[in-house]
Amino acid sequence: MTHAWLFTGPPGSGRSAAAKAFAAALLCPHQGCGHCDSCHQIEVGSHPDLESVRPQGLSYSVKQTRELILRAAGRATLGGWRIVLFEDADRATEQAANALLKAIEEPPPRTVWLLCAPAADDMIITIRSRCRVVTLRTPSTQAVAHVLTTRDNVPHPIAESAARASQGHLARARRLALDESVRQRRDAVLSLPRTLTGVGECITAAERLVKTADEDAAAATTELNETEISELRALYGEGSSGKGLNKGLIRGGAGALKELENAQKSRATRIKRESLDLALLDLMALYRDVLAVQFGAQVELANEDRRSDLDVLARAGTPEDTLRRVDAIMLCRERLAANVNPQMAVEAMTLSLRNPRG
């Protein structure tokens, strides 16, 4: 047993689920039975000795990290372990990572840190060297399809198609299998390459992708933002009256409100970026399948159900053309991660996806 663990693996490999299961094994009297009160509290996120953190914005600040470290320093309520489950720990800023390092170097007794990141290299080497690394792999199509059919009662053909399309990402596969609108959104993205016949079509396609990402961010945040702002204003006494009301408290809420609005903008940007990135990953999978068809490779195709489109795209260019398009998608992902204007980044990509012979 050690005090710091790093769970790594590609999206959909179940990093946070594995970390949560390990936390249950430590806190449950029966080593994670899945049925007792302790396991239930862990599952719903209410266990007093489990601090679960997932950055909502683009990054996790040093201020948030220091507050987390203070909470982690408390004694275990039930006399066992005090556990901090830090999802997406790779989003910690450089200053935050340095603060986290100090906490991991000198942890309080019986405090365990469970960090999750896509790869060990995403964490600074000094943190990585102090953690025991648990590397997970992407589950197979058959395994994901089995979960969908047995747990969610999804018909086998739909489950298998969703499992292939998600490339082993279970949460993505569930959304595809259970939500018709998600499948329609993906179909719209995969239909783009055949429409990119000119500059105007490329610009229009880019606008459509960015607009869809904006709509996703608005749908996910509008109601939550309003609730958070209302609660904060109530906390600082806005709308209250009476002799005992502290007017300074109301004025002091302006800074807190500004801080909340900045956090909300960061959250919306993250959701928009994730929506765009998901579309780009779908396009990557499409061109990966095109390349497989061009070479006659006997591999599972993520888009087998669109075989006619794959054949058309494969005949329309060479393997070199396909690799150039894959590079354009990867460059777009890098630019979005570097905070380049989304419209400009996506337009550059769609222009590069045009068929040079078209």
Res. 357: pLDDT tops 60: no
**What is the C-alpha separation between 202 and 210, in angstroms, rounded?**
12
Q: Which two tokens stand for residue 258?
A: 């500004």
% residues pLDDT > 70 (the chain): 94
pLDDT band of residue 356 (cuts 50, 70, 90) is low
27-75 per-position pLDDT tens digit: 998 888 888 888 888 888 889 999 999 888 888 999 999 999 988 888 8
- For residue 125, what are its two tokens? 């080497």
- Give the pLDDT confidence of 233-244 residue by residue, as tens digits: 777 766 555 554
In this structure, is the dihedral angle defined by the CA atoms of residues 288, 290, 296 and 302, taken in order, positive or negative?
positive
Whether domain 199-238+266-353 has CATH 3.40.1440: the reply is no
**pLDDT score at 244:** 46
Does residue 312 register a pLDDT over 60? Answer: yes
Nearest to 195 by CA among 181, 184, 209, 214: 209
Query: Is the pLDDT reported for residue 249 higher than 50?
Result: no
Nearest Cα neighbor of 280 from 186, 200, 198, 194 is: 186
Backbone angles phi, psi at 316, to 5 degrees: -80, -10
| Segment 193-234, tens digit of pLDDT | 988 989 999 999 999 999 999 988 888 888 888 888 888 777
Number of H helices, E strands in the chain: 14, 5
Domain boundaries, given as residue ranges, for the chain: 4-135, 141-178, 199-238+266-353
Residue 218: per-residue pLDDT: 87
Domain 4-135 in CATH: superfamily? P-loop containing nucleotide triphosphate hydrolases (3.40.50.300)
How high is the pLDDT of residue 79? 64
pLDDT tens digits along 257-296: 888 888 888 888 888 998 999 999 999 999 999 999 999 9
Across the chain, mean pLDDT equals 88
pLDDT at position 358 is 45
The whole-number pLDDT of residue 251 equals 58
Q: What is the pLDDT of residue 106?
A: 84
Model confidence pLDDT, tens digit, residues 149-164: 999 999 999 999 999 9
The SS3 call for residue 118 is coil
For the segment 178-200, the average pLDDT, to the nearest whole number, is 91
C-beta separation of 171 from 147 below 8 A: no
The predicted structure's pLDDT at residue 250:
52
| Cβ-contact 16, 116 below 8 angstroms | yes
